[in-house]
């Protein structure tokens, strides 16, 4: 019945009631079937539309063939770019049009790809809308022409990828571009750096067709145009521009007022251009501006108060100031910081470092409740620091260093909820106690208060106070009391600088493992006493330890140094600097220090009471640059294994009891700047230098107060190349480590009759001190080649002969001491040319003749010349019987038109021939040469009694 009714559709028979469920079931089955078939069909269509077109598939494979990859990727790189996977739309960095399979987006940014770009293959992807190749390391090349083929391109980013040369004008034909970024490209060709540039076309011609552009980034591209040109070009050609970055583009001249027509501008970066103007008032008209960077733009004058002054627009409901980031650092403003800066209520970053502002801080800065970073460093700000700055609820970094802030820091509120991470207040004039509020901060990572006049004690820390602190610097203040043990056990602390204060008492224990990250400890120049705590040498990461100039005492326990188990100090496998100088340590130097010389760079144990032998064994991989054992009671010989320390710059064994001959192998230490062996028991000769390049960098050579003998080799001075060159007075001998740590070498030398400590050793300060030995013979004329020599001391020796006239060539000489020798002859007039000579001591010699006059010689007192019975003239009371020798050659002699040299040669030849005939005649008259010689000796004694006396004692 049911089958019959359904088979007769043209009959208008009503369906029976019992057949309705069956009809609905059948209908639902038919509907479900059609839905399934439709779903299958749509699925097949979707899988088809994701297959990229064949031409783009091969173009991308060709593009990849020129690429190389860093270790970040596998050897093949971009593993999804596989020819076995023909669906390039599924490859990394690829986006396709879902309907056509055309590649529309290629993003290979930040993959550190090396190699070349096959632009021919790239330009086959003509459906590209977004292309991003930024932050790679492609082979340096110009940007080729051909980009006009990518007519659909809206975003082009080639930043930081080694492009250089002319920017092709064809890019300006991409009228659909919304974002263009060609910034930060450079190439070093071996002689100079090449950048992108716009030389063959003006900035106006380049942007005239890019009216859709919203973002333009050309930083480091050489545009080199005046303000009116680039200002007018951008304001007329790019009306929709929102982001503009022209950092270091060679722009000049003031910002043109036409730039204010860019009503949508939100980010403006003109850093590093020579704008040479005052800040224009129209900057305040950018109602959408969120980021303004005018760093290093040669801006000057007083900052206009009106720029950030808000009009009364409450009734309009308009808020003009949207500025979030402001950088005006490294300019030359004058006057105070305007109070209108406090109106920038949305400001997150305010950077005014080295911008020339002065005077007190405006109280309105406390209104900047959203501020995260405040940098006012290196200005002339003065007066107290408002405590309200420390209470800004969002502030993480506060940089107020290198100013003239004074007075006490007040306590501040909200320390428990503070997010402050960095506080830099160093190099100001702050005084009084450090606020306890600072010691309650829990998020602080860096606290630098050095070079102020803070006083009082450091309180003990409680709870999580300073638990995140990595860098703590209170140095160069007037802090006193004991150092709290809680400070020594901060779990995150890496750098602890407490030097140059008045801390006293014994040093507490470092609670390992809480202080296990400590790398640098500097407690120099305090009043600490007692033993060094054993726990210091249990710090596993310790790199630099400075404990000099305190009152630490006692022997260093044997348990630290000796025994079958390696000593604790030798377990400090990262130790680079160990400075225990100027304390009261005694005992022997632990031998194991030589065994860690493959990590140590500075070892300074000077100024203690260590005794016993020197360190004897240094490793083949020795990295030492400074070895200072001066001022102890060390004995024995200089170890030959020290020759392995090829990087040595400072070697100071002075003021010990070392009994040895001159260690000739030291001459192979080509990096040596300072060699001090003075005040020991060295003996024997120092001999000839073994090579012409001996000590090429030497600047301080001190062998004083020993028993060296023999003559000085003229070749010795000729090999000291560094002393022959004039050097900059501003360069110091110091060591800068990879992490920025700075170590300053110090030595004590005798200069100008006084002992002085050189805390900062100028490279230009050169010294040769050979005093108090037994050297004899002449002082070589080659000493005059040391043109940068400042101090020369050869006193208390047995030198004979004449004072070298070549000393007049040493224009930098400030101190010359040749006293207590047996030098004879006249004082060379050339010494009067030494304009910087402040100390001269020629006393206790056998000098004769008149004392030269003029210039510096007129400033010396008679004590400089005492003990020379043959000298006469000012400043001595003894008058010269004959006409005084001139201080310098007569002016007529210098200006004569005659060739005096030729005349004297002719005179000499004639004189020699004549004297020969005379001597032959006298010999015949005195009946033989023997009688003639005796006759001549008698004549010489009558004429030259002084010189004859010397000759008789020499031979």
Q: How many domains does the chain have?
A: 3
Co-location of 631 and 763 in the same domain: no
Co-location of 668 and 573 in the same domain: no
Co-location of 790 and 813 in the same domain: yes
The reply to whether 841 falls in a domain is yes
The reply to whether 554 falls in a domain is yes
Q: What rounded mean pLDDT belongs to the chain?
A: 82
Co-location of 614 and 594 in the same domain: yes
Question: Is the pLDDT at 923 greater than 70, yes or no?
Answer: no
Residue that is last in its domain, among 884, 905, 940: 884
| Per-residue pLDDT, 668 | 85
Q: Which residues pair with 216 in a beta bridge?
A: 180, 244
Q: Using the structure block, give the residue that is written with the tokens 């059948």.
A: 26
Residue that is last in its domain, among 637, 659, 681: 659
- Weakest mean pLDDT among 565-574, 729-738, 915-924: 915-924
Mean pLDDT of 694-718: 91
Q: Which domain holds residue 943?
A: 913-954
Pick 566 or 420 by higher pLDDT.
420
846-850 β-sheet, strand order: 824-825, 846-850, 870-872
Summarize pLDDT for 440-491 with one digit per residue, the tens. 999 999 999 999 999 999 998 888 899 999 999 999 999 999 999 889 889 9
Strand segments, DSSP code E, in 804-866 are 815-817, 824-825, 839-841, 846-850
Co-location of 687 and 650 in the same domain: no
- Which of 776, 733, 771 shows the shortest CA–CA distance to 753? 771
The reply to whether 49 falls in a domain is no
Co-location of 653 and 674 in the same domain: no
Q: Which residues pair with 772 in a beta bridge?
A: none
Beta carbons within 8 Å of 817's beta carbon, 6+ residues apart: 753, 771, 792, 793, 794, 795, 839, 840, 841
The reply to whether 24 falls in a domain is no
The reply to whether 867 falls in a domain is yes
- pLDDT range class, residue 944, cuts 50, 70, 90: very low
d(CA 422, CA 694) in angstroms, rounded, equals 49
The reply to whether 77 falls in a domain is no
Say if residue 513 is preceded by a cis peptide, omega within 30 of 0: yes
Residue that is last in its domain, among 845, 868, 884: 884
How many Cβ atoms are within 10 Å of 716's Cβ, its own excluded?
20
Co-location of 826 and 709 in the same domain: yes
Summarize pLDDT for 263-301 with one digit per residue, the tens. 899 999 999 999 999 988 888 778 889 999 999 999 999
> Phi/psi of residue 906, each to 5°?
-65, -40
| Per-residue pLDDT, 939 | 45
Residue 788 near residue 809 (C-beta atoms within 8 A):
no
The enclosing domain of 586 has a CATH number of 3.80.10.10
Summarize pLDDT for 755-800 with one digit per residue, the tens. 666 656 666 688 999 999 999 999 999 999 999 999 999 999 999 9
The reply to whether 633 falls in a domain is yes
Co-location of 861 and 922 in the same domain: no
Co-location of 606 and 672 in the same domain: no
The reply to whether 696 falls in a domain is yes
Co-location of 633 and 713 in the same domain: no
Summarize pLDDT for 178-211 with one digit per residue, the tens. 999 999 999 998 889 999 998 767 888 899 899 9
Co-location of 628 and 666 in the same domain: no
| Per-residue pLDDT, 555 | 63
| Per-residue pLDDT, 757 | 65
Q: Where are the alpha helices (DSSP H) in 50-99?
A: 54-65
Beta carbons within 8 Å of 710's beta carbon, 6+ residues apart: 684, 685, 686, 687, 775, 776, 777
d(CA 347, CA 343) in angstroms, rounded, equals 9
Residue 115: HSE in the Cβ half-sphere, 13 Å Cα cutoff? 14
Co-location of 746 and 847 in the same domain: yes
Per DSSP bridges, beta strands 734-736 and 742-744 are antiparallel
């Amino acid at each position: 019945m049911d089958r019959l009714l359904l088979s007769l559709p043209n009959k208008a028979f009503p369906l029976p009631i019992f057949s309705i469920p069956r009809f609905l079931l059948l209908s639902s089955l038919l509907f479900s079937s059609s839905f399934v078939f439709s779903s299958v069909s749509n699925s097949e269509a979707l899988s088809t539309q994701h297959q990229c077109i064949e031409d783009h598939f091969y173009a991308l494979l060709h593009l990849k063939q020129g690429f190389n990859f860093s270790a970040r990727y596998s050897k093949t790189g971009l593993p999804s770019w596989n020819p076995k996977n023909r669906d390039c739309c599924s490859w990394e960095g690829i986006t396709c049009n879902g309907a056509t399979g055309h590649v529309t987006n290629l993003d290979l940014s930040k993959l550190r790809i090396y190699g070349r770009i096959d632009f021919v293959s790239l330009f086959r992807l003509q459906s590209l809308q977004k292309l991003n190749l930024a932050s790679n390391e492609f082979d340096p090349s110009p940007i080729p022409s051909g980009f006009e083929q990518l007519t659909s391109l809206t975003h082009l980013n080639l930043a930081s990828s080694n492009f250089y040369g002319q920017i092709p004008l064809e890019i300006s034909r991409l009228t659909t571009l919304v974002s263009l970024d060609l910034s930060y490209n450079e190439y070093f060709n071996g002689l100079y750096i090449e950048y992108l540039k716009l030389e063959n076309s003006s900035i106006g011609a380049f942007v005239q067709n890019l009216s859709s552009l919203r973002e333009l980034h050309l930083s480091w591209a050489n545009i080199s145009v005046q303000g009116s040109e680039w200002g007018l070009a951008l304001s007329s050609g790019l009306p929709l521009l929102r982001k503009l970055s022209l950092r270091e583009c060679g722009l000049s001249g003031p910002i043109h007022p036409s730039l204010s027509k860019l009503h949508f501008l939100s980010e403006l970066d003109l850093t590093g251009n020579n704008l040479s103007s005052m800040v224009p008032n129209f900057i305040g008209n950018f109602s959408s501006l969120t980021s303004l960077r005018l760093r290093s733009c040669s801006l000057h004058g007083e900052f206009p108060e009106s720029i950030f002054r808000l009009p009364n627009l409450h009734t309009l409901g308009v808020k003009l100031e949207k500025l979030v980031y402001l950088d005006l650092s490294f300019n030359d403003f004058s006057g105070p910081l305007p109070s209108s800066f406090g109106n920038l209520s949305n400001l997150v970053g305010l950077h005014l470092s080295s911008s020339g502002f002065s005077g007190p801080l405006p109280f309105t800065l406390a209104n900047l409740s959203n501020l995260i970073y405040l940098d006012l460093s290196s200005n002339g700000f003065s007066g107290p620091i408002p405590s309200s700055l420390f209470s800004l609820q969002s502030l993480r970094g506060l940089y107020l260093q290198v100013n003239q802030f004074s007075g006490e820091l007040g306590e501040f509120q909200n320390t428990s909820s503070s997010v402050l991470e960095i506080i830099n207040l160093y190099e100001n004039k702050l005084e009084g106690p450090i606020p306890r509020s600072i010691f309650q901060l829990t998020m602080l990572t860096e606290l630098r208060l050095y070079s102020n006049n803070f006083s009082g004690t450091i309180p003990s820390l409680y709870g999580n106070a300073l638990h995140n602190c990595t860098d703590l610097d209170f140095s160069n203040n007037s802090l006193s009391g004991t150092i709290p043990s809680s400070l020594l056990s901060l779990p995150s602390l890496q750098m602890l600088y407490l030097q140059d204060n008045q801390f006293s008492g014994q040093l507490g224990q470092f609670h390992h493992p809480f202080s296990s990250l400590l790398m640098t400890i500097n407690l120099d120049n305090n009043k600490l006493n007692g033993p060094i705590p054993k726990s210091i040498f249990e710090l596993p990461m310790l790199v630099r330890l400075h404990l000099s100039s305190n009152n630490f005492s006692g022997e260093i326990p044997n348990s630290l140094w000796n025994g079958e188990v390696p000593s604790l100090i030798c377990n400090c496998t990262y130790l680079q600097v160990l400075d225990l100088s100027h304390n009261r340590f005694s005992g022997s130097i632990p031998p194991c220090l030589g065994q860690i010389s493959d990590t140590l760079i500075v070892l300074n144990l000077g100024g203690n009471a260590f005794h016993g032998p020197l360190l004897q064994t240094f490793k083949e991989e020795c990295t030492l640059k400074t070895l200072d054992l001066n001022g102890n009671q060390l004995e024995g010989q200089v170890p030959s294994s020290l020759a392995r320390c090829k990087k040595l710059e400072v070697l100071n064994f002075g003021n010990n009891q070392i009994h040895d001959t001159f260690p000739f192998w030291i001459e192979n230490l080509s990096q040596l700047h300072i060699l001090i062996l003075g005040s020991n028991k060295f003996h024997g000769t120092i001999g000839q230098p073994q090579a012409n390049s001996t000590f090429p960098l030497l600047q301080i050579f001190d062998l004083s107060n020993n028993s060296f003998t023999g003559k000085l080799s003229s070749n010795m001075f000729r090999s000291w190349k560094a002393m022959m060159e004039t050097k900059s007075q501003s360069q110091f001998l110091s060591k800068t480590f990879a992490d920025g740590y700075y170590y300053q070498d110090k030595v004590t030398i005798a200069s100008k009759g006084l002992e002085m400590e050189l805390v900062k050793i100028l490279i230009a300060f050169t010294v040769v001190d050979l005093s108090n030995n037994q050297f004899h013979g002449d002082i070589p004329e080659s000493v005059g080649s040391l043109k940068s020599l400042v101090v020369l001391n050869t006193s208390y020796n047995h030198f004979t002969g004449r004072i070298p006239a070549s000393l007049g060539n040493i224009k930098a000489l400030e101190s010359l001491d040749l006293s207590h020798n047996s030098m004879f002859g006249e004082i060379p007039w050339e010494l009067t040319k030494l304009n910087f000579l402040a100390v001269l001591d020629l006393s206790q010699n056998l000098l004769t003749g008149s004392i030269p006059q003029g210039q510096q010689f007129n400033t010396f007192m008679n004590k400089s010349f005492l003990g020379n019975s043959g000298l006469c003239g000012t400043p001595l009371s003894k008058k010269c019987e004959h006409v005084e020798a001139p201080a310098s050659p007569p002016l007529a002699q210098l200006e004569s038109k005659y060739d005096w040299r030729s005349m004297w040669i002719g005179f000499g030849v004639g004189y020699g021939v004549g004297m020969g005939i005379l001597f032959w005649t006298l010999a015949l008259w005195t009946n033989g040469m023997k009688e003639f010689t005796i006759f001549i000796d008698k004549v010489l004694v009558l004429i030259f009694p002084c010189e004859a006396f010397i000759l008789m004692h020499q031979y």
